Amino acid sequence: MVALLLALQLRTITIDQRLAADAHVRVGDTVVVSATPGAGGDSVVLAAIIGRRADPSEIARSDYRVHLHLDQLQRLVGYGDRVDRFAIATHGTPAADSAVRMINDAAFGFRAYRSRDIAVETSATFAVVSRFHRAIGVITIVASAVFLLCILLLKVDERRRDVAALRLLGISRRSVMLTVVLEAAFVSVIGSGVGVVMGWVTSLAVNWHYQARYQTPLRFALVTSDIVIFAVTLSLVLGIVAGALAARRLVRTHPLVLLGR
Amino acid sequence: MSALVRARDVRRDYPLEREAVHALRGVSLEVEKGEYLAIVGPSGCGKSSLLNLLGAIDAPTSGTIEIEGRNVGTLGDREVTDFRLRHIGFVFQRFYLLPILSARENVELPMAEAGVSAAERRERSTELLRYVDLADRVKHRPAQLSGGEQQRVAIARALANRPSLLLADEPTGELDAKTGQEIISLFGRLHADGTTVVVVTHDENLARAARRVVHMRDGVIVQDEVPGG
């Protein structure tokens, strides 16, 4: 009962998951907070543990987050009745725009920003990194596309005996072309499907690993519908082009030459 | 009997860098309907070149080849391809079955190209595979069949569009003696049933089974005999 009364008088704080894990504390625990390590401070009750947001800017931050009541924080740090920044919650974009305009017009020394603008500014680095990754991705895709094209050409070329036999049996050039192209397209679609599934499984593994490592819900690897459509389309186009090129070359060669005679 | 195939003074030269190779030097040959003919001779004597000409696969440098009264040497690529499809059946030494298709599908392939309906294709492929004793192998792929079975599928495929002429190039060349004998028996049965068969072979047993044997050497026919005749 005494403990309960004591707890009722204590202020509350929240901390982030990483600090809770490192300090081995749980919700309801009483801890002491102070401005400097070892100095006397306030006993407070841990009211909540906060998970990290899916924010790339938080990934590399090694500091802990502790939320205190403002007056207690001011008293502990001896900073007085001053703040560096504060946030104003509004209802909807027009209200936010209006608030920004009013503050910037009225308050000298203050500068108000929309949270969206701050997010854009602070994530500029990540946008550059993202573009860099996209460039690497495009180079990889182009290089692998050329490689796949060559492989497909070689694989179709391996069918020269089949094509020769078909031609000798009286199968028309058109039918042979159509067969080879359809087969190449089918193999390409199946291949891209397998690739998409592999990519999706890999993204799950990558996310699982890095989310655990950085204790963040941020998704590091994404397989979006756009990516799937792009992969299947590219593969299909490559398959058809490679199939058509190789088949064209094969049907234009005399079947006896294809058979090596 | 009437002549199904007429080759008149056929020459076939293959131009090389320095000099032309004269594979055939004026060959004349007639094959009657329902005949069973074997072309034999040493390697390089021109027997395969002659078979290719008789099958409208190749065109002669000079001379004419008539099959069913049509000069096949004058046909364009599309026409000659269609002619092969409907009038000539081929059996190759290495079978050349499509590995991704079943035995039935391989047999049905030329029929599909010829525009035969699906129902008729199925009926005819069943009949042909039964004829070559492979009724229980219709769904098997070539890799699941023995060499002899593959060759029998190839023979069924060659007969798919009921050709007037069946040509075979070393059909027992890839087979062991016992399996080869089965194929020889099958050719005998085909001949007995009225099919015109021309085989090129080194296999003495196969040549002996034919009703007529043409011997070639250096691009010319040196002997044309009817064994026991």
CA distance A155 to chain B (A): 14
Distances in whole angstroms, Cα of residue A170 to Cα of each of A175, B40, B81, B130: 10, 26, 5, 24
pLDDT for residue A142: 83
CB proximity B82 to A under 8 Å: yes
Distances in whole angstroms, Cα of residue B92 to Cα of each of A202, B2, B42, B166, B173: 48, 27, 18, 11, 9
pLDDT class of A1 with cuts at 50, 70, 90: low
Whether residue B86 has pLDDT greater than 60: yes
Side by side, the strands of the sheet bearing B21-32 are B21-32, B3-14, B62-67, B70-71
Whether residue A144 has pLDDT greater than 90: no
Distances in whole angstroms, Cα of residue A254 to Cα of each of A261, B19, B157: 10, 21, 22
Look up residue A198 and give its two tokens.
């592999």
- Cross-strand partners of B198: B37, B167
What CATH number does the domain containing B171 carry? Answer: 3.40.50.300
Residue type present at position A125 = T
Flag the least confident range among A140-154, A194-208, B19-33, B90-104. A140-154
| Averaged pLDDT for residues B151-171 | 93
pLDDT for residue B129: 95
The per-residue pLDDT of chain B, averaged, comes to 92
Optimal mutation site among A168, A178, A183, interface B, most CBs of chain B within 10 A: A168
Q: Does residue B187 sit within a domain?
A: yes
pLDDT class of A160 with cuts at 50, 70, 90: confident
Look up residue A252 and give its two tokens.
């234009």
pLDDT for residue B35: 94
| Averaged pLDDT for residues A67-72 | 88
pLDDT for residue A231: 86
What's the total number of domains in chain B? 1
Q: Does residue B70 sit within a domain?
A: yes
Query: Which candidate from B57, B81, B96 shows the least CB-CB separation from A172?
Result: B81
Nearest chain B residue to A171 by CA: give it. B113
| Averaged pLDDT for residues A54-63 | 74
At B169 the three-state DSSP class reads strand
Nearest chain B residue to A167 by CA: give it. B81
pLDDT for residue B88: 95
Q: Does residue B113 sit within a domain?
A: no
| Tens-place pLDDT, residues A167-201 | 988 999 999 999 889 988 998 899 889 999 999 99
Q: Tell me the chain B residues in contact with residue A161 when contact means C-beta distances shorter than 8 Å.
A: 94, 96
pLDDT for residue B108: 96
Match 């490192």 to its residue by tokens.
Answer: A22
Distances in whole angstroms, Cα of residue A201 to Cα of each of A56, A195, A222: 22, 10, 10
Look up residue A218 and give its two tokens.
């941020």
CA distance B58 to chain A (A): 8
Whether residue B2 has pLDDT greater than 80: no
B186-193 long-range contacts, Cβ below 8 Å, gap at least 24? B186/B132, B186/B152, B186/B155, B187/B36, B188/B36, B190/B155, B190/B159, B190/B166, B191/B34, B191/B36
Nearest chain A residue to B55 by CA: give it. A168
Optimal mutation site among B48, B51, B57, interface A, most CBs of chain A within 10 A: B57
Q: How far apart are CA B182 and CA B166, in angstroms?
A: 17
Any idea how long chain A is? 261
Whether residue B157 has pLDDT greater than 80: yes
Q: Do A168 and B55 touch (CB under 8 A)?
A: yes
Nearest chain B residue to A159 by CA: give it. B98
Higher pLDDT among residues A7 and B165, named by residue: B165
Its ipTM equals: 0.85
What is the pairing mode between strands B3-14 and A42-50?
unpaired
pLDDT for residue A8: 60
DSSP assignment, residue A59?
T
Q: Does residue B148 sit within a domain?
A: no
CA angle B5/A253/B39 to nearest 5° reads 30
Residue spans of beta strands (DSSP E) within A207-253: none
pLDDT class of A7 with cuts at 50, 70, 90: low
Q: Please list, residue by residue across A223-261, b when 16 or more beta carbons sit within 10 angstroms of its beta carbon and e when fewer do.
A: beeeebeebbebbbebbbbbbbbbbeebbeeebbebbee
Q: The domain containing residue B209 runs over which residues?
A: 3-98+163-225
| Tens-place pLDDT, residues B41-66 | 998 899 999 999 999 999 999 999 99
Nearest chain B residue to A251 by CA: give it. B77
Return the closest-CA partner of residue B179 out of B197, B208, B219, B152.
B152
Q: How do the domains of chain A map onto residue ranges?
A: 2-84, 92-122, 125-258
pLDDT class of A2 with cuts at 50, 70, 90: low
Residues of A with CB under 8 A from a CB of B: 161-162, 164-173, 175, 255-256, 261
% of chain A with per-residue pLDDT over 70: 96
% of chain A with per-residue pLDDT over 90: 22
pLDDT for residue B81: 93
Distances in whole angstroms, Cα of residue A34 to Cα of each of A42, A167, B35: 7, 88, 111
**For residue A14, with 0-12 CB atoms within 10 Å meaning exposed, 13-18 middle and 19 or more buried, which class applies?**
middle
CA distance B21 to chain A (A): 13
| Tens-place pLDDT, residues A196-216 | 999 999 999 999 999 888 878
Conformational region of residue A215, where left means phi above 0, alpha means psi within -120 to 50, and beta covers everything else:
left
pLDDT for residue A3: 57
